[in-house]
A = this chain, B = another copy of it.
Amino acid sequence: MHRRIAHPVEVTLFSITVRDHVMVAHSFSGEVFGPAQRLHGATFVVDARFKRVELDQDNIVVDIGLATQELRAVLADLNYRNLDEVPEFAGINTSTEFLAKHIADRLADRVRAGALGVGAHGLSGIEVSLHESHVAWASYERDL
């Protein structure tokens, strides 16, 4: 049995999203992955969505130039790499959903470090989506 609420939680919410991509090799461990246990690769088209409840004094969610630059910087640490050889990911299945969280968390670090500008401290959340093909994608959303 499911409890149903009459109306969803009322919210007013702004967001902006910027898109970039990253090209990596990796392999997975576990029978569930079938042929993807072999070393293979993927292009991930990455959408980083920044949310906030009210716009800042410039009437924006966040400086889209800085958002684009910082997403690119986060992806640069992964781009053109074999993730199986990245020490930080040793023993980890770098699934699309895991990478969505990894990228969202690194973006959150940068927001907190001020890299997206002072106004970015008013952001309420980040959602990162990774498109691995035209028929499959994953996402992770978190608070800030």
In terms of DSSP, what is the predominant structure of the interface of chain A? mixed
Contact of A19 among B16, B20, B23, B136 (CB under 8 A): B136
User: Could you list 16 further interchain pairs (A-B, Cβ under 8 angstroms) beyond the known A26-B41, A40-B41, A68-B136?
Assistant: A2-B12, A4-B10, A7-B53, A11-B142, A11-B143, A12-B142, A14-B97, A15-B139, A15-B140, A16-B138, A19-B135, A23-B40, A23-B42, A25-B41, A32-B60, A60-B93
Residues on A lying within 8 angstroms of B by beta carbon are: 2-21, 23-26, 30, 32-36, 38-45, 51, 53, 55, 58-61, 63-65, 68, 79-82, 92-98, 100-101, 117, 119, 124-125, 132-143
CB distance from A54 to the nearest CB of B (A): 9
Structural contact, B18 and A41, CB atoms closer than 8 A: no
A134 close to B136 (CB less than 8 A):
no
Tell me, rounded to whole Å, the shortest Cβ–Cβ distance linking A24 to chain B: 5
